Amino acid sequence: MLTEEDHRLLKLIAEDCRLTPLDLSVQTGLTAEYIEKRIADWEKEKVIVDYQPMINWARTGKELVSALIEVRVLPQRGYGFDKIAKRLQKFPEIKALFLMSGGYDLSLLIEGKTMQDVALFVAEKLAPLEHVQSTATHFVLRRYKQDGVELLGEEETIQQRLVVSP
Amino acid sequence: MNSYLASHVANLPPSGIRKFFDLVATMKDVISLGVGEPDFVTPWTVRESGIFSLEQGQTMYTSNAGLIELREELSHHLTKTLGLSYDPAKEILITSGASEAVDLVMRAVLEPGDVVLVPDPSYVSYAPCAILAGASVCYIPTHAKENFRLRVEDINQVYTPKAKLLVLSYPNNPTGAIMQREDLLPIAEFVEKHDLLVLADDIYSDLTYDGTHVSFASLPGMHDRTLFVSGFSKSYAMTGWRIGYVAGHADLIQGLTKIHQYTMLCAPITGQFAALEALRSASEEKNEMVTAYDRRRRLMVHGFRQMGLDCFEPLGAFYVFPDISKTNLSSEAFSEELLKEEKVAVVPGTAFGPSGEGYIRCSYAYSIEQLQEALKRIALFVERRLS
């Protein structure tokens, strides 16, 4: 069971995983040894799964096309949707995969270099899979916000504060 | 044209902060830890609500006391968070920032000859407002060894029977000190015994990092003796909206409202709509900001102690108040030399009263990166002075 303190610590790490145990110790009042041990535990328990920077590829000039794909599948007796999900998550093109409520079953986020790449993946890999009944592909035109971060922030000009005030 | 100024205005000393502000304004690439306002922008839901009120054409005066919806919501909020009970119809007045509320209290209750008891150090406006209201001020020195808490024995040192009003401002600007229930109870007894009124400036009440804030007005018998002043600026990062309030006994609020109606008429309506939204739906954002301040607070105290300076642990507001006396510099000299040599702006403790000598006020309403850079520069400066 994670304590409230643990949750606070995890939140800090989630916000900035570059913080060292020493930084975290100064900013939380917990000891660096304790923090190091907790992080090691969480890595082992897969509470902390990975450390990744968030990159806005649109600003790098790298060609990247993303699409959200709605997929209807036939659930399998004894496995539900898990068996096909396990198969799908192995494809490196699929960056995120969700089981959905509502009008369709699985939602996939796909990334490729070109629209052609994505279209080929859907036509050749995804649609022909056993139990897949239908797919609907929606291309992403622009990313405005990702993982809680506003990517279109430069238009907001923040008035400078007075340099000294009471 | 100075001869035209009323003598009590002409004789009012300029703010110690203003002097420093002018100095900083002439320099480039300064990291300033001198700011007394949040670095966050008002939460979006609150801003959006202000924008919506404008789109709807809500651009008129409100009633003198402020929007009744806001006063009702505020009344619930004060009950829920601080255990206070105020009738929204008669006991709450919405003001243009807590600053106006402080001024109104002073003007409504003070007469020439009255004395106001002001903890020292504390926020810069109390003494000037008291003086402008014709009263005089007695400073009550507070000390780092007592965690800058106000004690009855300290009040007794300066007490005069002419005293009518006691200012309590905790969490305190500039020290970051807080007052727990057991610290406040003897003060309440003292107030009762000497028949005093209290101006409780609780503007930083949400920024408390150890337990929850206890409001003086919630102590037994203190509701009617207290004018409870607070606002939205610090808790919700809404300094520029200018929305504060004062709550207290209906007779007193009626008196304050008379001055308010002739001088301010009402607080800005857009700010009032925004404040209403802040109470209804921004508590999560507020808590996030408090968590962020808490991290920075620890970083600052650690940083100053690493330099070999004594630093009282502030448990409220967003300031640290390190003791710089080891450097053998006065607060002003320290601040000026630090600014010139390392380009870091801090505020001399003396800007907040004579007991601030030997201290500097550093705001931590800045990003961790800025604070780290500022600490690095201050450390270099302190190292040179200590060696």
Contact between residue B92 and residue B65 where contact means Cβ atoms under 8 Å apart = yes
Residues 6+ apart with CB under 8 A from B45: B277, B281, B282, B285
B274, B238 contact by CB (below 8 A): yes
Contacts of A12 in chain B (CB under 8 A): 295
Mutate to test the interface with A, among B30, B124, B295, B301 (most CBs of A within 10 A): B295
Distance CA B211, CA A92 (A): 49
| Distances B138 to A17, B125, B154, B328, B376 between C-alpha atoms, Å | 51, 14, 12, 28, 38
More confident residue, A154 or B7: B7
Please give the average per-residue pLDDT across B190-217, as a whole number: 97
Burial of A18 (0-12, 13-18, 19+ CB in 10 A): exposed
User: Chain B: nearest CA to A7, how far in angstroms?
Assistant: 12
pLDDT of residue B362: 98
Transcribe B122-182 into DSSP letters: --TTHHHHHHHTT-EEEEEE--GGGTT---HHHHHHH--TTEEEEEE-SSPTTT-----HH
The DSSP call for residue B240 is: G
The residue type at B77: H
Q: Cβ contact (<8 Å) for B347 and A29?
A: no
Q: Domain map of chain B by residue range?
A: 2-42+284-386, 44-281
- Cα dist from B26 to A163, B23, B29, B30, B315, whole Å: 11, 6, 10, 10, 34
Largest CA distance in chain B: 64
Predicted confidence (pLDDT) per residue in B96-126, tens digit: 999 999 999 999 999 999 999 999 999 999 9
Q: In what order do the strands lie in the sheet with B360-363?
A: B319-320, B360-363, B347-348
For A69, half-sphere exposure in the C-beta direction (CA atoms, 13 angstrom radius) is 28
- Mean pLDDT in order along chain A per 10 residues (166 residues): 90 94 95 96 96 89 93 91 94 96 96 94 95 96 88 64 84
pLDDT value for B25: 84
Q: How confident is the model at residue B45 (pLDDT cuts 50, 70, 90)?
A: very high
CA dist A102 → A107, B192, B288 (Å): 11, 65, 33
Overall average pLDDT of the B298-324 stretch: 97
Burial string for B37-75 (b: 16+ CB within 10 Å, else e) reads bbbbebbeebeebbeebeeeeeeeebebbbbeebbbbbb
Q: Mean pLDDT, chain B, as a whole number?
A: 96
Which residues of chain A make contact with B129, given a CB cutoff of 8 A?
none
CA distance linking residue B207 with residue B286, whole number of Å: 9
- Kindly indicate the confidence band of residue B54, based on its pLDDT and cuts at 50, 70 and 90: very high
CATH architecture of the domain with residue range B44-281: 3-Layer(aba) Sandwich (3.40)
**pLDDT grade, residue B13 (50/70/90)?**
confident
**Cα distance between residue B232 and residue B202, in whole Å:** 11
A6 to chain B nearest CA, in Å? 14
Tell me which chain A residue has its CA closest to the CA of residue B21.
A164
Please tell me the distance from the alpha carbon of residue A122 to that of residue B301, in angstroms, as a whole number. Answer: 57
Q: Which of B231, B290, B279, B255 is nearest to B105 (CA)?
A: B255
- pLDDT, position A158: 58
Task: Tell which A residues from 8 to 27 touch B, by Cβ distance under 8 Å.
Answer: 8, 12, 26-27
The domain ranges of chain A are 4-44, 57-142
Q: Tens of pLDDT along B169-201?
A: 999 999 999 999 999 999 999 999 999 999 999
Question: Homologous superfamily of B2-42+284-386 in CATH?
Answer: Aspartate Aminotransferase, domain 1 (3.90.1150.10)
Residues of B near A (Cβ–Cβ under 8 Å) read 15, 17, 20-21, 24-25, 30, 32, 34-37, 39, 41, 123-125, 173, 240, 291, 295-296, 298-299, 302, 345, 347, 351, 368
**CA B315, chain centre distance (Å):** 14
pLDDT of the residue at B129: 97
Alpha carbon of A144: minimum distance to chain B alpha carbons (Å): 16
Residue pointed to by tokens 């302190």: B382
Residue in chain A lying closest to B302 (CA): A26
Pick the CATH number of A57-142 from 3.40.50.450, 3.40.50.620, 3.30.70.920, 3.90.228.20: 3.30.70.920
Residue B387: what pLDDT? 85
- Give the pLDDT of residue A155: 53
